[in-house]
């Protein structure tokens, strides 16, 4: 005969294991396919924005897309590493204003909206990206 206490303990252990399992932000986003979609949408947003597009005038867009996707993967806890230049190296001398930085964040949010990323997930990702702000701005 199985002891009821033992069964309850086993159920609690199994359920707490399930409850403590949490998806990574990478999984919440939808993995690499969704990250690639966001990056493509972001480039589209930039392409049609007369204020931000000049910042990308000398940019190798294919490389930008590859490296930005790597960054988003890293920021979201995905199975990747970033192999690009530092934010200071990339943005140094661009004299990015706070207004233009904020506009670019808005374009990024538009890109995530178009990829149907839930706002709660967007907020988590943006929160993880905030440390790059000072590395990009002209202060």
* CATH of residue 70: 1.10.490.10
Q: Are the beta carbons of 110 and 41 closer than 8 angstroms? A: yes
How far is CA 128 from each of CA 99, 134, 139, rounded to the nearest angstrom? 20, 14, 21
- Higher model confidence: residue 29 or residue 2? 29
Answer whether residue 16 is part of any domain: no
Answer whether residue 10 is part of any domain: no
Report the pLDDT value the prediction gives residue 2, as an integer from 0 to 100: 52
Does the pLDDT value for residue 128 go beyond 90? yes
Answer whether residue 97 is part of any domain: yes
Nearest in space to 49 (alpha carbons), one of 103, 111, 114, 126: 103
Q: Could you identify the residue written with the tokens 């947003």?
A: 45
pLDDT band for position 139 (50/70/90)? Answer: low
Query: pLDDT of 51-109, one tens digit each?
Result: 999 999 999 999 999 999 999 999 999 999 999 888 888 888 788 999 999 999 999 99
Give the domain extent around 100.
25-136
SS3 content of the chain, % helix, strand, coil (to 5): 70, 0, 30
Report the pLDDT value the prediction gives residue 17, as an integer from 0 to 100: 46
Mean pLDDT, rounded, of the chain: 86
Answer whether residue 106 is part of any domain: yes
Instruction: Give the chain's domain count.
Output: 1
Nearest-angstrom CA–CA distance, 114 and 41:
7
* DSSP letter string, 5-36: HHHHHHHHHHHHHHHH----HHHHHTHHHHHH
């Amino acid at each position: 005969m199985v002891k009821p206490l033992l069964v309850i303990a086993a159920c609690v252990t199994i359920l707490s294991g399930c409850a403590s399992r949490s998806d990574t932000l990478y999984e919440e986003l939808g993995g690499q396919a969704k990250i690639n979609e966001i990056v493509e949408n972001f480039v589209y947003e930039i392409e049609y924005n007369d204020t931000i597009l000049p910042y990308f005038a000398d940019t190798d867009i294919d490389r930008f897309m590859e490296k930005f996707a790597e960054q988003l993967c890293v920021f979201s806890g995905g199975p990747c590493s970033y192999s690009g230049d530092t934010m200071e190296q990339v943005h140094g001398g661009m004299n990015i204003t706070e207004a233009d930085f904020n506009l670019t964040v808005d374009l990024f949010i538009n890109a995530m909206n178009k990829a149907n990323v839930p706002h709660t997930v967007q907020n988590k990702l943006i929160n993880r990206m905030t440390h790059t702000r000072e590395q990009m701005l002209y202060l």
